[in-house]
Amino acid sequence: MSELVLTEENFDQSILQAEKLVLVDFWAPWCGPCRMMAPVLEELAAEMDSVTIGKINVDEQSALAQRFNILSIPTFILFKKGEVIDQFSGAMTKQAFKSHIEKHLV
């Protein structure tokens, strides 16, 4: 799994046109649960080659947060071939997070 910093400028090309499953993490540096999830995402990135992780800082990219109606963080949205296929929020264990992703890999 690779990690990608997303902005309004690169979002459509990076996510909507991607062939692989893409997990987008909506986060902010001041958010405690977001900081708790960062090492989990890093571990998953090292373990799962079939998924790309994109990160959107909601403070810097508020238009993207509004576009996807992000009301709480961390919020994670899974995209497959440009379509939203799952969305979940809040801190969770690595295994729970991995389960959310793996059910969409088939």
Q: Which residues are catalytic?
A: 31, 34
Q: How far apart, in whole angstroms, are the C-alpha atoms of residue 75 and residue 90?
A: 6
What does the block give as tokens for 44?
A: 């998953």
Q: How far apart, in whole angstroms, are the C-alpha atoms of residue 80 and residue 21?
A: 5
The CB density around residue 51, as the number of other CB atoms within 10 Å, is 20
